[in-house]
Structure 1
Amino acid sequence: MLRALLLMTSMLVNPVSHGFADTFADPTVIHGQDGYWYAYGTSDPLKSGEGTAHRIPIGRSSNLTDWTYVGDALTGTAAPYVAPGASYWAPDVRYLDGRYVMYYGVTDTTTSTDTNDFAIGVATSPTPAGPWTQQSEPVVAPRPGGSGGWLNTIDPAELTAADGSRYLYFGSYYGGISVVPLSADGLHPAGSATQVALDNKYEGAYVVRHDAYYYLFASSSNCCAGPATGYAVSVGRSASPLGPFTDANGMSMLASRTGGTPVLTQNGNKWVGTGHNGMVTDLSGQDYLVYHGIDRNNPYLDAAYGINRRPMLVDRLDWIGGWPTVRAGAGASDTPQAAPVTAGSQNFSTAPGWLPRGWKTVDGYATGSGTVRRQSGAGDVRVEADLRVPADSALGLTAGPATVTIDRRAGRLIATSGSRRAWAALPSGLDFGTWHNLAVSIRGNQLTAEVTEARQSGPIVAVSLKVMPGTTAGFTGRGDVDNFSVQRLYRPVTGAVAAPRLGRVTWSDDFSGPALKAGWTWVRQDDAVTIAGGTLNWPVEAGDLSGTANTAGVLTRTAPRGDYTVETKVTLDVGVDDVRNYQQAGLVAYAGDDDFARLDTVAIWNTRQIEFGREFPYAGQLAYGGVTVGTPAVTTWLRLVHTLDPRTGEHHFRSESSTDGRTWTLGGTWTFPAGTTPKIGLDAHGGATPAVTARFDYVRIHQP
């Protein structure tokens, strides 16, 4: 009843796929020419107990919050290269020059007898709901791995760049993320692939253009570990679609110490494993991240350790200081939020009385010539429409005294206001005789106009101009108009949520004496540990904590009551690029050998990462997963920020990392149940070859 009342009052309540699907993983959303939003997900059963996977299920919504099931995309005969029993993963759907194009991962092909010879398939349709026609060849064929097997050729995402060139991003942990140029129709490769993100770190690419940069969103860690899933989204940016992509600290996403600025990570509420995103823009111009998450209290579709239940979530995406972040850094929502602006678009399914002579409706759109003006009201405004412009014509939008037209005769996007004029060349490779979206935003006296394909990938071409405000909006020129909308422009969020308060130092051990301070206790004491030179020196052990072996030492002390932050500075030189699985050292919250959370700088294959891992018993087994936190250096500062949830009594541990001790990256949160008493401490384990020593400068506890 509460959900129904909230939906009636236009609130956004996650998971938005609740009405038709218990799970809807790897979602992507597009605004169709019919005025509806369409969502596409990985092939899984939609409901508990259903048992049969859908072949890319499709959802439809009029408001981005209420969704219904409309069918499966790939219902016909499989393409000849698809092996029997193959699954279809992580679709990406685009509107390219008059038709819908769907890219998707194919898990098994006829290339070999191996069941993991992945490929990227492609299908086309005249409408977003189908029928979809599979192309006979993959757009990216299976790729042999250098060390055997087949590279992870999955998770596709298309981008139309500012010059009209088309690209396809794809890949996963084995092989990394790559990008390949596409033919003009988007159906064939048109060159060789370029790797843009390191293997063994990222998957689930999604690229958008925002202002002067291309932003590569990618997900890291395990997607599917049930209640221990630590999937999260990070981003890097580049001036070129081909990279290199670097994060806010200038770290490359191709480096062994891999860069990536956090966009979305779990925050301690019910959602874990928040990742594999798409993006959509509402009618006010506000961006939203579309992604999946796992309810840690209900993590599986049917039986434990079976199919992960990953419903679709939608949350506001803010751009702060040139970098995207979900809800200003607050992360996934599990309480009602303001809904996207979706009402008020005119799709001309019926002829409105305000269309003047020279314009008429036909087949659900307006066609004609001349100028149409409507009242927009005072203040900041966004005017948008889908436009189809004949070859010898110009067609555009008006906003106050300004006019912005797609002028195919001149080959330009032209903005004018009085004597002021700005223009940009239209990319020659695109067909503006098919539908393209033009959005004109005026904030204060600044006009920005952007042409996109169905609001996806950011602007293909854009102009800006100083203007005077006005109170009318409309369209002008000759051609076809659909989905015309006039809305109050969204108000951007310009400041991130406050970082956790550090407080004063209430306890510390600077390892300046010959022995540990009182209060430390060992779990499996390591006699090789020494204190000398102002550091605690711990040769990395061959043991581990994860799993059932529990052979590694842990140095612990009782945690204070209430809220606190524990911090350490650790030097661990495990080199770069080579494989040192899984040498690591850092902080640990420890309630037992099979119930802990460790924040370590760690070597994982060829990468060097900071991982906040969690292990605990679940359904008769041990669940383990990790969330990545920033980028490590030889010397890295680590923090665990502990808070008690006043509603549930749960312990929340939020992770932070730094490479200079001053600027901190805020990471994900793991929880411990109410009634537990986790200690805090240090660890250094995961492999003794080659020999390396972790050196801890101090451990400090801060309290408010």
Structure 2
Amino acid sequence: MGHLRRGGVLAAVLTLLLAGASPAPAAGPDRYRNPVSAGFADTFADPVVVRGDDGLWYAFGTSDPLREGEGTPHRVPIARSADLVDWSYVGDAFAPDQRPAYAAPGAAFWAPDVRRLGGRWVMYMTVTDTTVSADTFDTAVGVATAPSPAGPWTFADEPVVAPRPGAGGGYLWTIDPSQLTGADGRSWLYYGSYYGGIAVTELSPDGLRAVGTPTPVAVDNKFEGAYVLRRDGWYYLFASTANCCAGPATGYSVQVGRARDPRGPFTDRDGQRLDVSRAGGTPVLTQNGNRWIGTGHNAVLTDLSGQDWIAYHAIDRADPYLDEPFGVNERPMLLDRLDWIDGWPTVNAGAGPSDGARPAPVTTGRIDARFATADLRDWRVESGTWRAAGGVLTGTGALASRTRIGGDLRAETDLRLTGATTAGLRLGGVDVRVGGGRLTAGSAGTPLPAGADLTDRHTLAIEVRGRQLVATLSPSRLGDPVARVSLRLPRPATGALTLRAQDGPAEFDNVSVARLYRPVRHPVAPPRVGPVLRGFSDEFTGGLDPAWQWVRQDPAATVTGGALRWPVQDADLSGTGNTAGVLLRDAPTGDYVAETKVTLDLGEDTVRNYQQAGLVAYVDDDRFARLTQVAIWNTRQVEYGYELPFAGQPVYGGSIVGTPGTTTWLRLAHHVDRVTGEHEFRAGSSRDGKHWTWGAVWTFPADTTPRIGLVAHGGATPAVTAEFDYLRFHR
């Protein structure tokens, strides 16, 4: 949900109220511009988006005021759209006096997750305050059901996951739920946050009760906001990290790991686990230097072309609060293309959040049948009887489209077997059907999970690229295929799309055929690292170079044996303390990359708050970007912290970049924006000096002159010394 960061490094306020922006100008036909929520809300945090049975799209957000000056939080606001771009407010899921019996009177509802389960819609949400104790944050995961995404929503009497007392006092943060139906048809719920980590538990078949023993899947003090989907045999755990709500210093971002089992273990691209002290996480979405910061708490959806999209919230760094400074963080809903490159998801091929006109999602196709009327003039009855009524097509036999189709395409339908033994689509001479416990495409087939109930609505989708056909069956259309089959076609698929039901009636709805999306194959290039600029660099081979300048010199820092050895100071640089030493040197003009190699033995698992060492881009004590390997409670992270003056006081936040080793290589890539003149610093880290993870961008005003330096501070117990091998600048 993106609320609080446990502890001092990224401490935040429990006011988890959120996002906004002024209405975005029209982007033109088939294009859109972020934030997509601007038409109905200034803030719409923790969004999740589903496609309703009516073919429209529904978005749900955290309980907050929607507009500046409104003051009163909405109780899970709902918006609706026909095209995923233009949204309108539908209403709130819950009335002001509506709450489950276990919720305290002042409870809020955060981070909804909505799914179609069986013959109804189910919403999981954080209930922030319950009646189990006097603690005002004894959170639980609640659940409600409805006949449609628009409601009416009715709470279940009991929470799915009850409040959990923490061993260290208080209650574990039982927040940010996300449901997934696994490949075997079992239902799972992910939940948790910084205090307690993320866990997964199996759900009862109706999705209303947790059963079995929860399994930890992501370490505490690093991740929250879980969202899981299944693709190509892998389960992908998306999780947000760092602070959701630090106003103009918010560095929230999304990372991912994957596993073959919904219970993990999840590992990142480098093989690092997400459930250990030095937790991994491959970046999916992080700020890139444009207006958007704090890009996190995501959901994933698929348009009619098969292209995946990521919905998330972000903060406009020029307008970070909904009303007054240090109140509700203003976090509108954004939407961007989610690409899969070499088996890993990334936003806009790694370019990050968009801030200009972009190609819009595909939400209509050459065939786009919602069956809102009885008119079937675009269809031809080949056999049997067919009737459209109430937004559903019911029939038995065969019904063919009069529109001919061909080429690379995606066809889909919502399907329910009300009497038929099998039903499905015929495309290019190939029958793709469900029934008899199987999903079949031509001569290829695969079993459905035991207990799969085809009298409940499922989405059947077919993608044809060249002569390869892939069919999937999904209960929620949210990255949850319970069956997948592929077939090599003898010839290109052309002709009519035919709906078929055998031995009885079946219901069809939301039948579409659209041109198949074109996948992105290559990521955007990382920052270029050229030759070393010897005149600006120091290898620490002959004492401390005279070009270095101290802010609060530390005489304990010495250069010996080809390294700068600096005992970690019992001091800090964030906030108003400003007691830590900073060792600086002037940077080159223009674009460059600064790099250091730092060894710091922080151990693992134990609390070492907040010992750290690394690079800093520094203007003064109230404006700097600090890239360090750091101990944050039981975890070891690479934190890219940022401080700036705002509304008369320093504000600190940060982002997370990669996984540290005892020895970690760190880089800051500097770029001057050609339009604004701002200094942009992008952070990178490596465990071996060869394979780099690149993360967030922090910016400095054009009229500043940042210097580059080194820091080693955050606590003197136990005593530990940072060892820097060099500071190099590359053009």
TM category (shorter chain) comes to: over 0.9
**Which residue does 2:117 correspond to in 1?**
96
Report if the CA contact (8 A) 1:39-1:58 is conserved. yes
The reply on whether 1:49 has 2:77 as its aligned counterpart is no
CA RMSD after TM alignment = 1.3
After superposition, the Cα gap between the structure-2 partners of 1:8 and 1:171, relative to the gap in structure 1 and judged at 3 Å, is same
Moved more, 342-351 or 185-194: 342-351
Report if the CA contact (8 A) 2:537-2:729 is conserved. no
Deviation at 1:494, TM superposition (A): 0.7
Deviations 1:312-361 (A, max 9, x none): 00000000000000000000000111000002321100223033342110
- Name the aligned partner's letter for residue 267 of structure 2: T
- Unaligned 5+ runs, structure 1: none
**Which residue does 1:567 correspond to in 2?**
595
The reply on whether 1:484 has 2:501 as its aligned counterpart is no
After superposition, the Cα gap between the structure-2 partners of 1:683 and 1:198, relative to the gap in structure 1 and judged at 3 Å, is same
- Name the aligned partner's letter for residue 412 of structure 1: R
Map 1:659-698 to 2 at 5 A: 659-698=687-726
Report if the CA contact (8 A) 1:89-1:106 is conserved. yes
After superposition, the Cα gap between the structure-2 partners of 1:56 and 1:5, relative to the gap in structure 1 and judged at 3 Å, is closer
**Which residue does 1:290 correspond to in 2?**
311
The reply on whether 1:519 has 2:547 as its aligned counterpart is yes
Deviations 1:35-54 (A, max 9, x none): 11000000000000000000
1:136 to 157, 170, 177: 157
Deviation at 1:545, TM superposition (A): 0.1
Moved more, 71-80 or 289-298: 71-80
**Which residue does 1:495 correspond to in 2?**
522
- Quote the sequence identity (%): 59
Deviation at 1:62, TM superposition (A): 0.2
Corresponding residue pairs, total: 696
Counterparts of 1:280 and 1:696, CA distance in 2: 45
Counterparts of 1:424 and 1:296, CA distance in 2: 50
2:371 to 327, 337, 348: 348
Counterparts of 1:8 and 1:596, CA distance in 2: 39
**Which residue does 2:10 correspond to in 1?**
none
Map 1:170-569 to 2 at 5 A: 170-344=191-365, 345-350=368-373, 351-357=375-381, 358-374=385-401, 375-390=403-418, 392-407=420-435, 410-416=436-442, 421-467=443-489, 468-472=491-495, 473-477=497-501, 478-507=505-534, 509-569=537-597
**Which residue does 1:161 correspond to in 2?**
182
Moved more, 424-433 or 560-569: 424-433
Could you say what secondary structure the match of 1:388 adopts? strand
Counterparts of 2:47 and 2:246, CA distance in 1: 18
- Name the aligned partner's letter for residue 191 of structure 1: G
After superposition, the Cα gap between the structure-2 partners of 1:119 and 1:20, relative to the gap in structure 1 and judged at 3 Å, is same
**Which residue does 1:24 correspond to in 2?**
44
- Name the aligned partner's letter for residue 347 of structure 1: R
After superposition, the Cα gap between the structure-2 partners of 1:696 and 1:4, relative to the gap in structure 1 and judged at 3 Å, is closer
Deviations 1:472-505 (A, max 9, x none): 2232124110000001100000100011111221
Deviation at 1:212, TM superposition (A): 1.1
Report if the CA contact (8 A) 2:24-2:38 is conserved. no
Could you say what secondary structure the match of 1:459 adopts? coil
- Name the aligned partner's letter for residue 631 of structure 2: A
Counterparts of 1:454 and 1:119, CA distance in 2: 24
Counterparts of 1:258 and 1:376, CA distance in 2: 52
1:10 to 11, 14, 30: 30
- Name the aligned partner's letter for residue 499 of structure 2: F
Deviation at 1:78, TM superposition (A): 1.2
Could you say what secondary structure the match of 1:328 adopts? helix
After superposition, the Cα gap between the structure-2 partners of 1:71 and 1:558, relative to the gap in structure 1 and judged at 3 Å, is same
- Name the aligned partner's letter for residue 372 of structure 2: S
Deviation at 1:509, TM superposition (A): 4.1
- Name the aligned partner's letter for residue 346 of structure 2: T
- Name the aligned partner's letter for residue 369 of structure 2: Q
Q: How does the TM-score come out when normalised to structure 2?
A: 0.94
- Name the aligned partner's letter for residue 614 of structure 1: Y
Deviation at 1:365, TM superposition (A): 1.1
After superposition, the Cα gap between the structure-2 partners of 1:376 and 1:553, relative to the gap in structure 1 and judged at 3 Å, is farther
Counterparts of 1:313 and 1:376, CA distance in 2: 36
Deviations 1:396-416 (A, max 9, x none): 112212211011xx2100110
Deviations 1:378-425 (A, max 9, x none): 311110010001355111112212211011xx2100110xxxx11111
Counterparts of 2:404 and 2:683, CA distance in 1: 46
**Which residue does 1:600 correspond to in 2?**
628
Counterparts of 2:691 and 2:182, CA distance in 1: 33
- Name the aligned partner's letter for residue 437 of structure 2: G
Deviation at 1:280, TM superposition (A): 0.6
- Name the aligned partner's letter for residue 411 of structure 1: G
Deviation at 1:8, TM superposition (A): 4.3
Counterparts of 2:222 and 2:128, CA distance in 1: 20
Counterparts of 1:111 and 1:12, CA distance in 2: 46
Moved more, 600-609 or 517-526: 517-526
Could you say what secondary structure the match of 1:117 adopts? coil
Q: How does the TM-score come out when normalised to structure 1?
A: 0.97
Counterparts of 2:92 and 2:420, CA distance in 1: 40
Report if the CA contact (8 A) 2:294-2:315 is conserved. yes
**Which residue does 1:576 correspond to in 2?**
604
Deviation at 1:621, TM superposition (A): 1.6
Counterparts of 1:646 and 1:392, CA distance in 2: 63
Counterparts of 1:474 and 1:227, CA distance in 2: 54
Counterparts of 2:528 and 2:352, CA distance in 1: 18
**Which residue does 2:128 correspond to in 1?**
107
Report if the CA contact (8 A) 1:510-1:535 is conserved. no
Deviation at 1:5, TM superposition (A): 6.9
Counterparts of 1:232 and 1:161, CA distance in 2: 26
Counterparts of 2:538 and 2:626, CA distance in 1: 21
Counterparts of 1:565 and 1:446, CA distance in 2: 44
Report if the CA contact (8 A) 1:511-1:536 is conserved. no
- Name the aligned partner's letter for residue 56 of structure 2: Y
Moved more, 471-480 or 487-496: 471-480
